[in-house]
Chain A
């Protein structure tokens, strides 16, 4: 049977991966180096036992998005984010290019919390590292800062508002944008 090709991104690095069944096992090649792998599914799409080159690993697929191929994988007392794309999809995405977000910084809530207050208002000039919003979670106040210098285009939240993870809080645009 022929190999299936994927492009896998992990810790910011892209790797070419090919996967092919090898009897009861799998042969997996990463950037040309092949390993033999035995997979036992303990719970489908959730918990695997993998034996790779004789080493035993218990693996949890903690988060997964089948459309985008984003996974959070937990193993060896730690976890890591992984993105898997079909080789053809990856090529297509490369050709069309990701959306161009340069000249723009959108501050998103890193955790659910309550907006204590906004430190800036629309039209303000801000520097890189300047605090934009104070978000409180678990009795701790966290000052969330701008990752770039620019102008505050909009503050999306009001003081006292509850927000979920990923909620947009503020948008900074480049001064001449």
Chain B
């Protein structure tokens, strides 16, 4: 498509759909929400200018249906689509279908998605472009002999990974040679089952790994810049929980080195729009290319705060054919930002998901607070989708100030009716290792136990007093109402007379 974007369909739900629609409203571009039957009351539907139902609750029958989304585009006359993250955001068939229909896609082209979508082809392309990758096999492993030979070359421990994998699924650490045969077989079987592709590769296992990623932006004119790093090492089951920018271990020189490599990656796949290049960083601060996420990330707000940019509006500008409004040397970060993902998961019961009605919502405010949310009070959280409710993003001049502000904000934050991981964040913010910035991707697994969660010691008495007062006062009102009802009750004589009158009229 060419020319100005005049109406945008947001092919997503939850907090990210709202985030995109907020940018659209600032630009005074009408927004179209799509929703499943379970999402009629979802926040993004209430916020949007237009809304189209695209099918039943399961996402395979709604948010993942390219045909239904294309129908909604035609029906509403939208001239561009923003895919958010997840769902169809990295689906090249979707991007291609839109292109064929002459509809703009606010994101990269299908070619870049395809190149980066498969870990093996991405890796081969990156090696060819001169990007540093984790030492490992450059193709799918055949038999255990080949796996052993390669692993000896790389040096144990090694990691077996499904080529089509992601989100932590289809991975296995192999510590020595004796474990190889069974581990390879298990990983291949798991990969075949989960991704319908049994290809597995091997790479060096990084000890004390940190996950640090670089935000890039590229336009159609061939300009590409980096907007610093995001530290994403606080994870649970390979899902990020807290992210920050800058990273406690990245200095200016390392930022430039990583940033330039990320820009090289973006250029190697002829990238357009916002994208993220993920790196694994080892204990010696050596970094290796991991993969490129060809979409807007959940954690994009920490970059927006430290670089004072609006990534969604920049994506829209680039998709409309505009050139980036800044050069690399104009991009200087200020201050510190941290994002806390608010999940509907109970940290006291091994992060069991919790759904239901949000009976009370009181959002924190004051200096340095941004809350990107997809919920509201009285909203019933459906069971079909991701448990991410919102993101509390905190900004300050220094990391210390951010931690102080975050602790303060969590004392204001009330989400009641469902369980959330807020108590986990409160615990994390009091951990000396976290305060010092001394952690890796194993931090939660090695440090967190549900029994460490503490409530304020005044809570039992305060709750007891409030409940007793409520019960007492309610009881008094009921007694009073009961007495009044009794005195107003008609006598049995009157009732009998009325009943007789009614029977007579009917006969």
B168 at the A interface (CB under 8 A): no
Contact status B354-A111, CB under 8 Å: yes
Contact status A60-B360, CB under 8 Å: yes
A78-B423, A78-B456 given; A138·B410 CB < 8 A: no
Binds A, one of B279-287, B393-401, B463-471: B463-471
Binds A, one of B262-270, B324-332, B379-387, B480-488: B379-387
A84 at the B interface (CB under 8 A): yes
Contact status B469-A142, CB under 8 Å: no
Contact status B472-A4, CB under 8 Å: yes
Contact status B353-A6, CB under 8 Å: no
A45-B474, A84-B471 given; A59·B353 CB < 8 A: no
Compute how far the CA of A77 lies from the CA of B478 in the bound complex, rounded to whole angstroms.
Answer: 31
B36 at the A interface (CB under 8 A): no
B414 at the A interface (CB under 8 A): yes
Interface size class of A (residues with CB under 8 A): 35 or more
User: A19 to chain B: which residues have CB within 8 Å?
Assistant: 468-469, 472
A69-B471, A76-B455, A138-B383 given; A112·B355 CB < 8 A: yes
Contact status B467-A8, CB under 8 Å: yes
Residue with the highest number of chain B CB atoms closer than 10 Å, among A26, A50, A112: A112
A74 at the B interface (CB under 8 A): yes
B333 at the A interface (CB under 8 A): no
Compute how far the CA of A11 lies from the CA of B457 in the bound complex, rounded to whole angstroms.
Answer: 12
Contact of A74 among B360, B458, B468, B478 (CB under 8 A): B360
B448 at the A interface (CB under 8 A): no
Compute how far the CA of A95 lies from the CA of B455 in the bound complex, rounded to whole angstroms.
Answer: 34
Nearest-neighbour CB distance to chain A for B457, whole angstroms, equals: 9
Contact of B352 among A37, A79, A110 (CB under 8 A): A110
Contact status B416-A75, CB under 8 Å: no
B344 at the A interface (CB under 8 A): yes
Nearest-neighbour CB distance to chain A for B486, whole angstroms, equals: 19
A59-B462, A76-B458 given; A6·B360 CB < 8 A: no
Compute how far the CA of A50 lies from the CA of B469 in the bound complex, rounded to whole angstroms.
Answer: 11
User: B423 to chain A: which residues have CB within 8 Å?
Assistant: 78
Contact of B461 among A52, A113, A140 (CB under 8 A): A52
Compute how far the CA of A72 lies from the CA of B467 in the bound complex, rounded to whole angstroms.
Answer: 8
Contact of A138 among B355, B359, B459, B478 (CB under 8 A): B355
User: A148 to chain B: which residues have CB within 8 Å?
Assistant: none
Compute how far the CA of A150 lies from the CA of B283 in the bound complex, rounded to whole angstroms.
Answer: 50
A114 at the B interface (CB under 8 A): yes
B417 at the A interface (CB under 8 A): yes
Contact status A111-B355, CB under 8 Å: yes
A111-B354, A112-B383 given; A78·B459 CB < 8 A: yes
Contact status B455-A80, CB under 8 Å: yes
Nearest-neighbour CB distance to chain A for B186, whole angstroms, equals: 19
Residues of A21-77 at the interface with B, using a CB-CB cut-off of 8 Å, are 26, 28, 30, 35, 37, 39, 45, 48, 50, 52, 55, 57, 59-64, 66, 69, 71-77
Contact of A111 among B353, B359, B412, B456 (CB under 8 A): B353
Contact status A61-B466, CB under 8 Å: yes
Contact of A72 among B416, B455, B461, B462 (CB under 8 A): B416
Nearest-neighbour CB distance to chain A for B366, whole angstroms, equals: 15
Contact status A76-B467, CB under 8 Å: no
Name B237's closest neighbour in chain A (CB-CB): A140
Compute how far the CA of A11 lies from the CA of B459 in the bound complex, rounded to whole angstroms.
Answer: 11
Compute how far the CA of A102 lies from the CA of B44 in the bound complex, rounded to whole angstroms.
Answer: 48
Contact status A15-B464, CB under 8 Å: yes
User: A48 to chain B: which residues have CB within 8 Å?
Assistant: 466, 469-470
Name B476's closest neighbour in chain A (CB-CB): A4
User: B468 to chain A: which residues have CB within 8 Å?
Assistant: 6, 8, 17, 19, 28, 84
A101 at the B interface (CB under 8 A): no
User: A75 to chain B: which residues have CB within 8 Å?
Assistant: 459, 462-463, 466
Name A9's closest neighbour in chain B (CB-CB): B464
User: A137 to chain B: which residues have CB within 8 Å?
Assistant: 353, 355, 383
Nearest-neighbour CB distance to chain B for A137, whole angstroms, equals: 5
Name B59's closest neighbour in chain A (CB-CB): A139
Name A41's closest neighbour in chain B (CB-CB): B473
User: B426 to chain A: which residues have CB within 8 Å?
Assistant: 77
Contact status A62-B467, CB under 8 Å: no
A74-B414, A77-B411 given; A26·B469 CB < 8 A: yes
B422 at the A interface (CB under 8 A): yes
A82 at the B interface (CB under 8 A): yes
B56 at the A interface (CB under 8 A): no
Contact status A71-B456, CB under 8 Å: no
B413 at the A interface (CB under 8 A): yes
A/B interface sample: 8 pairs, CB < 8 A: A28-B465, A61-B466, A62-B360, A64-B470, A71-B463, A76-B458, A111-B353, A139-B385
If A10-B464, A57-B462, A80-B455 are given as contacts, then 12 extra A-B residue pairs at C-beta distance below 8 Å, sorted by A number, are A11-B460, A19-B472, A63-B417, A69-B471, A75-B463, A78-B423, A84-B471, A111-B354, A111-B355, A111-B383, A138-B383, A139-B387
Listed in ascending order, the chain A residues whose CB lies under 8 Å from chain B are 4, 6, 8, 10-11, 15, 17, 19, 26, 28, 30, 35, 37, 39, 45, 48, 50, 52, 55, 57, 59-64, 66, 69, 71-80, 82, 84, 86, 110-114, 137-140, 142, 165
